[in-house]
Structure formats: structure tokens, C-alpha cells
Amino acid sequence: MMLVIVFGASFLAYNLEAYSSDPLSIFGESTEKNKDYLMAKMIRDLQLDVPPPIRYFSWLRGIVSGLWGHFDMGMTRGNIHVTSMLAQAIPVTIRLVITSTFLAIILGIAVGMITAIRQYSRFDYVMTFISFLLFSLPIFWVAVLLKEFMAIQFNDFLVDPIISPSVIVIAALIFGFVIAGFVGGKRIQFFSVLAGAASFAAVILTFVSATKWFIDPSLGIFGVTFLALVSAAIVIQLISGLDSKKGRFTGFGTAIAVAVLYYPLQALMSANASLLNVFAIFVITIAVGLIIGYFVSSIDRRVYLRIGFFTALLSTVPVIIDRFMREFPQYMNSDAVGGRPVPTLGQRNDLLTPEQIGNFWISGLDTSVHLVLPTIALTLISFAGYVRFSRGSLLEVLNMDYIRTARAKGLSERTVIVRHGMRNAMLPLTTILVNDFAGLLGGAIITEGVFAWKGMGQLFNDALRSYDLNLFMGVFILGASLTVTANFVSDLLYGVVDPRIRIRK
Amino acid sequence: MRKKMAIRAFAASAAIALVAAGLSVGAIAPAQAAAKSTVTLLSSADITSLNSGTSDGNTSYNAISGSLTGMGFSYYNSDAKLIMNTKFGTMKIVKQAPKDFQIEYTVTKGQVWSDGTPIDAVDLLLSHIVAADKYSKAAGLGDPANADAKPAFDSVGYGGTYGSHVVGLPTLSADKMKLTVKFDQPLPDWELLAPGPTPVHALELIIDGKKSLQSAAANKAAKAAFLKDFTTKNTARLKKIGALWSTGYDVTKVDSTTNPLLLISNGGFIVSKFTLGDSMTLVRNPKYTSGPAMATKNPIKTVVIKIIKDNTASVQALRNGDIDIYYNTLPTGNDKISLSALPNVTVLTKTGGNYSHLDLRVDTAFGETDSYTGPFAGNGAKAKDLRHAFLLALPREQMVSVIVAPVKSDATPLDSALTFQGTPEYNAITKASGVSEYSKGTQADRTAKALALVKKYYPNASEDAPAVKVNFAHANTTTRNNLAKLVAAEAKKAGFDVIDKPYADLFGEKGNTSAENDVTMYGFGLNSLSQSNGTEIFKSDGGNNVWGWNDSALDILAKSLQGDILSAKDATAKRLAMDKIVNSNYWGLPLYANPTITAYNKALKNIKPAPVGANITWNFFEWSY
């Protein structure tokens, strides 16, 4: 069945594309002396004298030959194998969209569920407004704004990174309102949180401005410790609840252990480190977390191992980020970057010297700064959908009878929501998630265009524009097969995650 | 209650953590302005090949890198003048008889390829293989005109002037520094037919499986082997070279694993890194002597060509310093405004090599079956008067002010399709060709004259009762649609009822050739400037003449421009005579030369875009900071 769908879709797509444009029309405005020869050559090379429905089968032959090992998607008009074009574009697209997809999913689901728990609160209204706003923004416009303010203006700002007092006040107030809205509560609580958060932000911003932190950033041991403790608090609250003594001990213990390891771990992060070193650091800290979890617990061991594991994982991230940050001044002042570290487009800086590329931290930093804007743009756009969907889904679950039963039998609110509510609310999301991941490889045509990344989306766009049928079909067949497969997988997955659905034997 | 507080405390602390991105004080690094030596260029389409002689269609983008990595006998400068590059070599006519026309090419001694191999006339021979259909056939490499099979060298050069007129094999001098090519008739544009150099030793080495640069002796032997393969027409080996030349240079990336033999150059730069669709990096060729010397003060050491297809993105990239040179051949007024607003760039507007034209059908287009019977058909007095009237009512100044002036404020309508706007020749021709009638007085005067002409045949014609129905075909783009509105509004005042027919695909749907359409408007592009320029448009059997234009006196002039070697003065006289015929027949009018816009980093010096040829990169040797 799946094969029939893919076959039918590819036949239709091939013919639609073949009939929709005429590659010979580019010669209309040409004054070349050998125009006749060039036209005859194009007819020969693209087999324009063969009707498209028949031409389709010569293309299909190459695909079917894959069965006996002679898989052939044909050549592009530039004489390059379609397979190698795809091989080059797929990693680019994945690099572009993977971070933003994960970010959008995690943030979107988190925010969506919080708004569901606090239905009709100020926070809910504000987030509903924001998500509808983001939902309706065109990405090319978001990209233009991001480039103007987060790249061009920010780079200009870095020349003399002093934040003016008025900006500090406004930013602090905005931050205060966001936090206060997030915390909610009665009016007096709202304003006290607002005041607290705003003054905290003001202190931080003044500090950042006074020390020119932006051109020489780092977290240092204090920042790392602080972030590790915060991550521990989040993990504990989600897994065991903050009132569990053993949970607190495991989580905060692991966080402090990571902070203690901050200096010893620097040895693993020299200039010629590699991804393997980073991996090793995670292995070490996670081992520490697991050991703490193991020795703290006697019963319910899995819960504490989980706390140890996730706390170690999250609190190691600042350690790594800190290392990247400390390379920043050198990166920013290099000839290749010339003091303007945030680029508006591209995947990498082509002017970095081989030594700079050889330095894991510098090349990593380079890749990251190039990812900043597209990731923010894509996250903003796709985040909204997840917010709305998970909010609706959790609200529906929370109105179910079994939630009332769970509350009636005296389970803590945390257990009711995390264990009985959230888990069931995730069920309908699986279908969307699986299809979204299949869609990843389709690329993001517009985003890739405005950020000049040659991924699958641009490949598709170019193929359409240049009448490159083989390339067009290469992208198309990959997308079609993935979509069909994803639908199949999400059907299967549903049977696994939802005990009410079982596939009949 | 306690739990609720806990959740709140946790929420607040988590949020605070987002801002408190850690704190530690570090030393402030001093910002420094080191002398820049790199230039990042914009390319608005993919560079698809390291060999621009093969790939379909978009050779102008491959020519950007091609002009940095290869120098030949000549190049176009910013005034669209063909400059002879004597550092590379010289050429001269050695024999000029009606059936025997010989040109001698001399390669300047002392030049080397980037791998150190001396450059001589043997390096010019590949040009013959890829341009002479006869050689391809004789050497068993396939007939380029064969509709079923590609020739071994899949070249875009076949079927042209060189291939149709060359006689026999080119002959080498004893010291191999001179090459003489014989043609069967004098060719006016012989300077444009000069062969280009190819590192033929590298081709030989690669087909023999070599994957690294070789010794001087091996290079010398390989070059000798090529000469032997060429003269003996060694089909088997030439076929291998053809396959390499046709597809071996179409790479998806260049890095340290790429065969360095593919990258050998005689230009100012060598390709060092390339990712298809993303960027190309070129570094200085230390052995470059094949062209004018590089600037001595702060010259460019590295060139990056960045592929950005989105126009807004390129403008912002220029502002942020991600690119140094922005170049656009289809700019709009908005581009000019946004570029001029950038504080760090210089903006240049110039007349480009492409121009727009509006033409009237007088007869059935060549090869079409529906015969043309519209109001402009034939050469009777009525048809001529109506054509004259339509052209008089063409608001060219208004069209220029709407489309071109926002980009290039001093633009004027183009008055001749046979010569380049702004040159002394252009001024001489347009003064006398009769075209000045269309810029005399105001448009209102001219439209009134047009209405009078129409009234000769339709006494009741007026703006409210247009008498002559005219179908107007053009591409369905914003620019063309805006222009068409102007044309229709003004023509109506002269008694014409213009029926606007925008085509999504003007050429694919045969909108330009259809007998239904009386008027067409589109563009023509120029890749080179030759003596025969524009003749194919007006000649009765010309490849671009789709309006049924036919004038025997003009055909004789066109044939002479195409086939006789004329002095500049004679050529100008013949072009003037041609333009006079075109104007007295009221066939059509050129509208305007498309402007181009260049914006570049203020710190860069000597950026001089050229209207034809390699556009931006032709004078890389003069660039500096």
C-alpha cells in the first residue's frame, strides 16, 4: 500500500513539474551566436523530445534498480549525482532545524502545560496572546527583524557594550512583569514578585554593563554552581517533589559535586579537545550523579538514579558553555570575525584559519553563532503550535474522571498533574511529533533561503526553478517516503504508548 | 499551601536563573582594526562548476570564479571596452584574403601555471577541440549536432562562428609559443575568437590516475603527450580527457582531499575551498604573471564568494559586514534606497549589458503558421502610419522615470540597439538615425501627432473612442505590468485600444512569436560586444527576429557587419544606415538599458563593475584596501 502511494505521488509530481515549465524559454532573450546549437543540446541532454509520462519511467528504472544494487537517482543538470547532492544537503538541514525543533517542542509543551494548569490566569492570557502573535508572523519578516536587532545592532553595540540606565530600567520592568505573570497569585504577591525580579534584573544588567561582560563572557565557578543548583531544583521538583529529603540530597548533592569538579574537568577541555572529550565529561559527571543516587536510596532506587542522572546532565551543560565563552574574546577579535561576532547568514565563517578550525572551541563557537538567528526564528514560529496543542490536550485530560478520582484518593497535586495528567496529555502529541520529525528533512525552504543555508528546502527550490527534474524527484521521493513511513510509525507507536489501543494479531 | 509556595519559589528561581547567566569579571580585550586583506563577494546563484565551458545556462555565475582563476588574451573593462592582455599574449592577422584568413596568437614567454609548468601555445589547443565541430567529428569524439548522443567534450562552444569557419588544425611554431589558426573567410569579430588557455598537462595526468602535483619533468612529458594525442587524434585518450573535462570539474566540494591537479590556475587566485551552494574561497596564486600586476599596497589575499539568493538577506549581510561587495543586475528603486541608507558602503549605479525593447509585428514570425493580419501588417502607408503613431505615443521618458530613474537618476531612454549607450559612437548614431523624433518636444506633443496620424484613417478616433485594437504581449512580472499600464494609457490618448496580455512564460507559450500579438516587450542580453552586435535582431532571417521584419537593404548592411572586417568608422556608418532603415520602417524602439547596482565596503578601493564579461571581478588585480 505504501509503495502504491509513493509510486502514484511520484508519477503525478514528475508530470506536473515536467509540464509546468519550459526550460527552452531561457533562450528567448539570448543573443548568443550559437543559440540553435545550444537549444538542440538542451533538448538532447534533458530528453525534451520524450513525453514526460514516458520519461518518468526511465527515471523510475534507476530507482527500481536499487533492488539489485544499482540504485540511481540520475544526475542533476550540473552533472552531479542526485544522491551526492542529497547527501550534502541532509546534514545541513538537520543541523539547521534539529535544535530549534527540540527547543520548540520542549518549550512549547512546557509552556502549554503550565498555561493549562493556570487556565485563565494572567500568564495564560499573555502566553495565548504571544503564541497567536507568533503563529501569524511570516518567518522572512521575523528573520529580517532578528538580523537587524540581534546581529547588526548587537554587533554595533559590542563596540562599546555599555547599557544605558534607561534601557536597564525598561528591560528590568519587562522582566519583572514576565516573572510576576508567570508566578501569578494575589495582587500583593504579584507586585512583590515584580519588584524583586525587576531589581534582580537591574543588578545583573548593571553588572554586565559595567564589566563589559558581552565582549568577554564567562560563567565562572559561581555562575556554574548557581545554574547547577537551579537545574537540580527543577529536576527534583519534576521527579520526586522538592519535599522529598532523599530527592533533595541526591539532586543538590550532584549539583555541588559537578561544581566541585569544575576545576579538575578543565584539564579535559584544552584547545585540541574534541567531541569525545565533551562526551567523556558527561560520562564522568553522570557517573557521579548515579553513584550519589545509588547510595542515597534504599527503596525506590530508580527514582533517585533518575534524579542523579538528569541533574548531572543538566548541570554539566553550564560547565561546557563556560568553556566556550572563555574562547569568545579571541574569536571575536580574530581577523576573520573582525569584531562583529553575530553573522546574519551562512553556516560558518569561511575565513577562519586552519588552526582556528582545528581548535574545537573556536570552531564550535563559530558554528553556534551562525545557528543563533535561524534557531531563534524557527523556534519562535513553530513554538506556538505546540503551546496551543499541549494546552488543549492537558486541559482535556484534567477534566477526565480519573483525574478527579486521583485527587479524591488524596494524591499530591504534583503527582496528579505530572504522573496522571501530563503523561496522558502526551498521547495525542505523539502523532504530531513523529510527523514533524519526518517533515524535518523536507527542509525549511524560506528559512534556508533567508539565512543562505543550502539544505533540502533550497535544493527543492533550485530544482523547481532550474527545471532539474532528477533533483526535484530526488527531494520529492525522499520526502514522500519519509511521510508515509512516519504515518506508519506513528500508528505503531500509538499502540505502544496507549494501553487502550493494541494492534490485532 | 506549603507546596504551592514551593512551586512558586522554584518557578521564580528558575526564571531568575535564565538572566543570571553567571558572573565573573574578565579582562577587557582591546578592539583592534587590523589591515583587512580579504574580500567577500556575493553571488546570487550557485557556482556549479570549476569549468564554465560546460554547464548549462548559468555560465555567468561560474565566470565569477573563472575570471579569478584564469587569464587569457583579453578582457572587458568597466567601459565595455575589450582590453588586450599583453601580459598573457598578443594576436594579429597574418593573412587576409577572401577565402584565407589567418590569425597568429603569440603567448608571452615566462608565464607559468600555479604548479610551475610553463605556459605555451600547446595550452591553447584544447580550445580548438571544444569549439570546432569538425575536429570532434574527425577525431571520433562524436558529432556535436547529433540529436541523440553527447559529444565527448560536452561544450557550449560548438555551433558558433569559430566552429563554422575554422579550416584544418591550428599550427604551432617551432618554439611552441605561437599558434596560427586559419579560417575560410575574414571574420570581423576575430578578436573575440581567441582561444583560452587550459592546463592540458593536468588533464593528461589526471586521466593517468595522478592525484597530486607532479615534478617538472612529468608535467613536461604530460604536455608533450597531449600535443601528440591532439595531432594524432588519439580517440581513446581524447575521449577520456573529454569525460574529465565535461564532468570532472563539476564537484560538490573542494577541500584538502581534492585532487590539486583540478585546481591549477594561471589567474590571480586558486580555489582552496568550495561547498556547492554555500561558498567558495580562493587564495592568492603566488606564481601569477598572466595579467596586470596585483596592487602593491594592501592587496587582496583571499576572496570568498558567498552564495546568497535572497536579496534582502544580501543587503543585511552587506550592512553587517558578512559580505563586502553586493552586485545586482535587476535592481529596483527600493534596493537603491535601502543600500544608500547603509552607513558603511559606497553605492554605484551603471548601465548594464541588458536592455528592454518594444517591437511591432509587421508579418508572420519565421516558422509560425498563423499569418499575421493585424493593424501593423505590411508596408502600406496605413500600416506604416499606424506603427509610426504607436511609437510616437510610447511614453519612453515616463517609463524610464518609473523603472530606471529610481535606481539610476540620470538615465535616459535607449535610442539604439546596435551600440552601447554613452559611447561616442552611440551619440553619433542616435543624432542622425531619425530616432530623435521620439524625444523631441513633450510627450503630449508627440501623442497629439500620433492621434493626427491615426485620424487620417479613423477620423472619429479619440481617447474616448479608440479606433485601433492592439494586442500587447509581455512577461507577467511587476516591472513589465507597470510598464504596460503606462503604454496603454498613453496609446489610448492617440486612439489605440491596447489589450494587455501578460504571459507567465512569454517564450515558452510562444507569446513573443504568436500572430495574435501586435506588440511585444521584453529584454535582450549581451555577453560580448562585437561588430555584428544586434544584426541578428533586424536581419530578415536573423535568429532573434520574430516580428517578420524584412528589408533587403538592411540585410546587405547586416551581412557586411557580420562578415567583413571594417574600420571603426565604416562599421559606425553601416550601423547608422541600419538604424535609419529600422526607424523609417517604424519597427520598434529600444526602451532603456537595464541599470545595475553595486554596493561595496567603503574601505575597498577600485571596484569598477563592467557591463559585460566578468562584471565585478575583471579588475581583481587593482583591488586593495
Q: Which residue of B has its CA nearest to A235?
A: B10
Q: Is A156 on the interface with B (CB under 8 A)?
A: no
User: All 3 cell numbers of residue B299?
Assistant: 592587496
Q: How many domains does chain B have?
A: 2
Taking a C-beta distance cutoff of 8 angstroms, is the pair B135, B128 a contact? yes
Q: Which residue of A has its CA nearest to B26?
A: A216
Amino acid at B559: K
Q: In this predicted model, which residue has the larger pLDDT, B192 or B34? A: B192
Say how far apart CA B252 and CA B255 lie, in whole Å.
Answer: 10
Long-range pairs of A101-106 with CB within 8 A, sequence gap ≥ 24: A101/A378, A101/A382, A101/A436, A101/A437, A101/A440, A103/A375, A103/A379, A103/A383, A104/A378, A104/A379, A104/A382, A104/A383, A104/A386, A105/A386, A105/A433, A105/A436
pLDDT tens-digit readout, A232-249: 998 998 888 888 888 899
Q: Beta-carbon neighbour count of residue A6 at 10 Å? A: 18
pLDDT at A315: 93
User: All 3 cell numbers of residue B135?
Assistant: 575536429
Distance from CA of A349 to the nearest CA of B (A): 9
pLDDT tens-digit readout, A391-437: 999 999 999 998 999 999 988 888 888 888 888 888 888 878 887 87
B117 has a pLDDT exceeding 90: yes
CATH of the domain at B131: 3.90.76.10
Is B241 a domain residue?
A: no
Of the candidates B17, B250, B524, which has its C-beta nearest A78's C-beta? B250
For each successive 10 residues of chain A (505 residues), what is the average pLDDT?
86 89 76 76 83 88 82 82 90 87 89 87 85 87 92 89 88 86 76 89 89 86 91 88 86 93 89 88 94 87 91 93 91 86 89 83 91 90 87 91 91 84 85 79 82 90 87 89 85 77 60
B302 vs A351: CB contact, 8 Å cut-off? Answer: yes
| Domain end among B209, B234, B259 | B234
CATH of the domain at B568: 3.10.105.10
Which residue, chain included where needed, has cell 494587455? B500
Say how far apart CA B373 and CA B365 lie, in whole Å.
Answer: 12
Q: How confident is the model at residue B240 (pLDDT cuts 50, 70, 90)?
A: very high
Is B529 a domain residue?
A: yes
How much is the average pLDDT of B316-329? 92
Contact residues, chain B, for A454 at CB < 8 Å: 46, 275-278, 307
Q: Is A410 on the interface with B (CB under 8 A)?
A: no
Say how far apart CA B301 and CA B609 lie, in whole Å.
Answer: 20
Q: What is the ipTM of this complex?
A: 0.86
How much is the average pLDDT of B251-256? 89
Of the candidates A40, A345, A462, which has its C-beta nearest B322's C-beta? A345
* Helix, strand, coil percent values for chain B (each to nearest 5): 35, 20, 45
pLDDT at A290: 93
Is B65 a domain residue?
A: no
Contact residues, chain A, for B561 at CB < 8 Å: none
Q: Beta-carbon neighbour count of residue B146 at 10 Å? A: 13
Q: Which residue of A has its CA nearest to B28?
A: A216
Taking a C-beta distance cutoff of 8 angstroms, is the pair A403, A121 a contact? no
Q: Which CATH code of 3.90.550.10, 1.10.730.10, 1.10.3470.10, 1.10.3720.10 fits the domain covering A80-159+340-505? A: 1.10.3720.10
Q: What is the pTM of this model?
A: 0.85
Taking a C-beta distance cutoff of 8 angstroms, is the pair B572, B330 a contact? no
Distance from CA of A474 to the nearest CA of B (A): 16
pLDDT tens-digit readout, B156-183: 888 888 988 999 999 999 999 999 999 9
pLDDT at B2: 44
B34 vs A335: CB contact, 8 Å cut-off? Answer: yes
Distance from CA of A157 to the nearest CA of B (A): 12
B393 has a pLDDT exceeding 60: yes
Testing the interface with B: which of A35, A41, A258 to mutate, by most B Cβ within 10 A? A41
B250 vs A27: CB contact, 8 Å cut-off? Answer: no
A333 vs B32: CB contact, 8 Å cut-off? Answer: yes
Is B435 a domain residue?
A: yes
B28 vs A344: CB contact, 8 Å cut-off? Answer: no
Say how far apart CA B82 and CA B72 lie, in whole Å.
Answer: 12
Say how far apart CA B373 and CA B367 lie, in whole Å.
Answer: 16
Of the candidates A79, A200, A454, which has its C-beta nearest B247's C-beta? A79
Taking a C-beta distance cutoff of 8 angstroms, is the pair B50, B251 a contact? yes
Domain ranges of chain A: 1-72, 80-159+340-505, 162-211, 219-325
Of the candidates B16, B23, B321, which has its C-beta nearest A200's C-beta? B16
User: All 3 cell numbers of residue A493?
Assistant: 507507536
Measured at the CA of A149, the angle between CA A145 and CA A155, to 5 degrees, comes to 140
pLDDT at B527: 64
Q: Residue A250's closest CA among A286, A274, A205, A276?
A: A286
Q: How confident is the model at residue B250 (pLDDT cuts 50, 70, 90)?
A: confident
Say how far apart CA A335 and CA B40 lie, in whole Å.
Answer: 13
Say how far apart CA A130 and CA A389 lie, in whole Å.
Answer: 14
Distance from CA of A277 to the nearest CA of B (A): 23
Contact residues, chain B, for A413 at CB < 8 Å: 3
pLDDT tens-digit readout, A325-345: 998 998 988 888 888 899 999
Taking a C-beta distance cutoff of 8 angstroms, is the pair A421, A397 a contact? yes
Distance from CA of B453 to the nearest CA of A (A): 32
B1 has a pLDDT exceeding 80: no
A449 vs B16: CB contact, 8 Å cut-off? Answer: no
Clarify whether residues B395 and B527 are in a common domain.
yes
Say how far apart CA B189 and CA B242 lie, in whole Å.
Answer: 28
CA end-to-end span of chain B, whole Å? Answer: 69
Distance from CA of A299 to the nearest CA of B (A): 24
| Domain end among B215, B234, B253 | B234
Of the candidates B28, B251, B309, which has its C-beta nearest A212's C-beta? B28
pLDDT at A502: 63
Say how far apart CA A342 and CA A285 lie, in whole Å.
Answer: 32
B388 has a pLDDT exceeding 50: yes
pLDDT at B59: 63
pLDDT tens-digit readout, B518-563: 999 988 876 667 888 888 888 888 878 888 888 889 999 988 888 8
User: In a 3-state reduction of DSSP, which class is residue A33?
Assistant: coil
Supply the range of the domain harboring residue B517. 353-595
pLDDT at B10: 41
Q: Which residue of A has its CA nearest to B13?
A: A230
Taking a C-beta distance cutoff of 8 angstroms, is the pair B523, B594 a contact? yes
Of the candidates A43, A216, A452, which has its C-beta nearest B27's C-beta? A216
Distance from CA of B229 to the nearest CA of A (A): 26
B339 has a pLDDT exceeding 50: yes
What is the rounded average pLDDT for all residues in chain B? 86
pLDDT at B249: 87
How far lies B236's CA from each of A136, A316, B85, B135, B240, in Å?
63, 63, 36, 14, 7
B505 vs A193: CB contact, 8 Å cut-off? Answer: no
Q: Which residue of A has its CA nearest to B160?
A: A34
As beta bridge partners, residue B600 has: B325, B346
B608: Cβ contacts below 8 Å, ≥ 6 apart: B77, B78, B619, B622
